[in-house]
Amino acid sequence: MQDPTGPDRTGHAGCRLLEDARPLLATAQALCRRVQRAAHEAVLARLEEQEREIAAQAEATRGRIAELTAQLEEFDQAAEEVRITRKTLLALPDPSPPTPPAAKPPDHPAYRQIMAVFAAADAPLRARAVCEAMDLEIAPSNVNNVRLKLKRLVERGILIEPEQGLFTQPRP
């Protein structure tokens, strides 16, 4: 047997070891390529998985954008309707305040007499003066009854009380 470290056919020492190592080197290189290919395939698989996830997220986002676009169109339509309504209301003439129905005194002879006294009067009157104009006895009960009737006429807007106890018809 020949010394493996000894000279080979060419006479160089150690070349024999190199020749014996070549198959091992080829095997190691092939193994390295397989490991690289496997790692490469794993990276590619992970990239494909990420691509699918991103595509799914993009599709979900497109769906949400479509929903938001529809909602935005609804808001725009509602805003346009409000703008048109506002413009229409501004174009309408100012409504005149409703005229209240003409106040009517109660249908009682005493009230008709009181109103006749105020129709003939040219100044505000007190309850006592109304009693005198109606030819009633100037008694506290009569003055109080007339004063109550005058207050009722003020509540209904038929008479006004410019100061406490003084009554008159409103002037137009």
pLDDT of residue 1: 45
Residue 148: predicted pLDDT? 95
Residue 72, helix vs strand vs coil: helix
What whole-number distance in Å separates Cα of residue 47 and Cα of residue 38? 14
Q: What pLDDT sits at residue 126?
A: 94
Q: How far apart are the first and last CA of the chain?
A: 147
pLDDT band at 7 (very low <50, low <70, confident <90, very high): low
Question: What is the model's pLDDT at position 14?
Answer: 54
Three-state DSSP class for residue 159 = coil
pLDDT in tens, 9-45: 555 555 566 677 777 777 878 888 888 888 888 888 9
Both tokens of 4, joined, read 């493996």
42 three-class SS: helix
Per residue in 78-104, pLDDT (tens digit) is 999 999 999 998 888 887 777 766 677
- 125 by Cβ neighbours in 10 Å (0-12 / 13-18 / 19+) ranks as buried
**Which tokens hold the place of 149?**
């009737």
Determine the Cα–Cα distance for residues 19 and 43; give it in Å rounded to an integer.
36
Q: Give the pLDDT of residue 9.
A: 55
168 within 8 A of 159, measured Cβ to Cβ: yes
In the predicted structure, residue 164 carries a pLDDT above the cut 90: yes
Band of pLDDT at residue 170, cut at 50, 70 and 90: confident
Strand segments, DSSP code E, in 10-60 are none
pLDDT attached to residue 157: 87
How confident is the prediction for the chain on average, in pLDDT? 85
* pTM score: 0.43
